[in-house]
A and B are shown apart, each in its own frame.
Chain A
Amino acid sequence: MKIKIALAQFNTKLGDIQANLEKHLATIQEAKSQEADLLIFPELSLTGYALQDLVVTTALRPHQADPVFSELLRASKEIDLMIGFVHEDRRHRFYIASAYLSDGKISHIHNKVYLPTYGMFDEGRYFAWGDSVRAFNTRFGRVGMLICEDFWHASLPYLLWLDGADILLFASASPGRGLNQDPRLSSSEWVEHTNRAYAGMFTTFVAHANRVGYEDGLNFWGGSTIYDPNGDLVIRAPDFTEALTVADIDLNQLHRTRARLPLLRDERTSLVQHELERILGNYD
């Protein structure tokens, strides 16, 4: 089975949900015209990234009656969507979240688990920490979603792999940093190496949508990618410019790669569990 994945590498208006929603709908039309099956938007695609005090005024309650989600849900009848937004839960906690929409329904919401709160990042000041990571079923098989810092920790992609995800969907709004003599920023090199490593070590597909543009002095580099279960690059979007990047992935590649390289079959999960219990249970 082949599916067409589209990566929406775009810029956002900081705190202007209506403008960003319109841009989502236009991008969805474009992806549909290219016959994409699944369209992935970057982290906080409906709001922009460095929200600070805008968090509380841009937060959404994802349900059918919400005016923003109702439009996106209608669009999801023809194409599956992964949307980035500020999620306000019933108890009024605010999360950085991604929602997977398909056939007019919300299939899954992932609340970002790891909130970078160091250096230039201050997410922990404004957002609640997500407390679960789950793979979920789609019409393309089982997938898992992670947001930016989530995949700087190996544990979450690992858990999604064990939970059955054969396609990892990554969204980010990653500020570029680390200018040196190399032709790309060190942060973009790091992310690309890591994504490739996940694809190869977990013999899965890894599709990553990163945004572009600027917010004050921060630049977002783009460079969205898809890697296949061999760790080979399927497609890479250009750096620093908006692009809708569309590529076919062949899900039969999972069969071929895992027949050759049975890393999933051989993963000794009970050993991991046993050793984790020992490590976490023994503080001395």
Chain B
Amino acid sequence: MIDLTINTDLAIKILTGFIKTELNRVGFEKTLMGVSGGIDSAVSLYLSAIALGPENVLALRMPYKTSSPETLSDAQLIIDDLGVQSMTIEITDMVDPLINFYEDMSKVRAGNIMARMRMIVLYDQSVPFKGLVMGTSNKTELLLGYSTIFGDSAAALQPIGDLYKTQVRQLAKELGIPEKIIQKPPSADLWQGQTDEGDLGFTYEDVDKLLFLLVDQRYRPETCIEEGFALNFVERVMKMMRKNHFKRVMPPIAKLSQRTIGYDFLYLRDWGT
């Protein structure tokens, strides 16, 4: 029996404390984040609004011309529900010159350009807003590497990075996020009709159970197969985790000296605070 049930009250207590403490200790009161109308950014937005007060939270909608109108209206739904500050900055005119510069531009390249432009807009707005950029990545996508490096993965804090997608859904229910947002198929919305589960070729429900065994419970891959997971599914997930590990670590520095950042120069980010 694989049980991914979490105590949502306890999770909210720990995560709102984390957001408030980790911002305040470095001199910030405010946060901003991209809000897509999806469940991950919704949960991060609700947690931030509880932690800091809605007046200290800025939700940015950053549509591209192909973005579905539904993402904008769903984002507006939660912005209105919380009473957080909001801005809409369309990225079409920013990214199209680069996308159109090449004739052989692929969907994936264009998607990465959009994700990185949203990062630039967020980090730019963080200066006048005097806030830190909140991450919205969950554990499932971090482990699978289902993100754009230096794009949606760029953030100051990752409050939901240790919760699987199915656990984020539990949290969303407890936070009172509209059912429509919880129920709709997760999508990066980088091109029309894109869905996470279509891209990945498996459901979050299934992969979360497998990841929970492999990562949290330290099962051997062969034991997962004995437990009923398909061989090619287990192999594919293992490979995705390994191949995308570079997205989860800082770039390695070539060691030359007696003391090198990352190897023997080690401090928490909270050093001195």
Contacts and interface: CB of A to CB of B under 8 A. Distances in A.
B101 interface: no
A54 interface: yes
A216 B270 contact: yes
A14 B21 contact: no
Contacts of A15: 271-272
Interface stretch (B11-19, B102-110, B195-203, B235-243): B11-19
B256 interface: no
Contacts of A14: 268, 270-273
A181 interface: yes
B14 A13 contact: no
A214 interface: yes
Given A15-B272, A53-B267, A240-B14, A183 B5 contact: no
Interface string A171-190: 00000100111111100000
A216 B159 CA distance: 11
Interface residues of B, number: 25
Interface in B1-24: 3, 5-7, 9-11, 13-14, 17-18, 21-22
Given A13-B273, A14-B273, A240-B14, A216 B7 contact: no
A50 B17 contact: no
Contact of B7 (A50, A53, A180, A214): A180
A240 B9 CA distance: 13
Chain B interface helix/strand/loop/mixed: loop
Contact of A185 (B5, B10, B18, B158): B10
B5 A181 contact: yes
Interface in A178-218: 179-185, 213-217
A214 B268 contact: no
A257 interface: no
Contacts of A184: 10
Contacts of A214: 17-18, 21-22, 270
Contact of A176 (B5, B6, B14): B14
A210 to B, nearest CB: 15
Contacts of B5: 180-181
Contact of A180 (B6, B14, B162): B6
A214 B269 CA distance: 12
A50 B267 CA distance: 8
Nearest to A50: B268
Contacts of B13: 240
Q: Is the interface of A mostly helix, strand, loop or mixed?
A: loop
Interface range for A:
20 to 34
Contacts of A240: 13-14, 17
A219 B14 contact: yes
A180 B11 CA distance: 9
A185 B266 CA distance: 28
A54 B21 CA distance: 21
B152 to A, nearest CB: 19
B21 A216 contact: no
A16 interface: yes
Nearest to A218: B268
A274 B265 CA distance: 48
B269 A52 contact: no
Contact of B3 (A181, A185, A215): A181
A59 B17 CA distance: 29
Interface in B214-273: 264-273
Contacts of A50: 268
A180 B5 CA distance: 6
Interface in A7-58: 13-16, 50, 52-54
A183 B10 contact: yes
Interface string A209-231: 00001111101000000000000
A54 B267 contact: yes
A181 B158 CA distance: 22
B6 A213 contact: no
B55 to A, nearest CB: 23
B21 A183 contact: no
Nearest to A176: B14
A249 B215 CA distance: 44
A150 B54 CA distance: 44
Contacts of A185: 10
A217 B18 contact: yes
Contacts of A176: 14
B21 A179 contact: no
Interface of B: 3, 5-7, 9-11, 13-14, 17-18, 21-22, 158, 162, 264-273
16 contacts: A13-B273, A15-B271, A15-B272, A16-B273, A52-B267, A53-B267, A54-B267, A54-B271, A179-B6, A180-B7, A183-B10, A213-B21, A214-B17, A214-B21, A214-B270, A216-B270
Interface of A: 13-16, 50, 52-54, 176, 179-185, 213-217, 219, 240
The 3 A-B pairs at the shortest CB distance, nearest first, are namely A52-B266, A181-B5, A214-B21
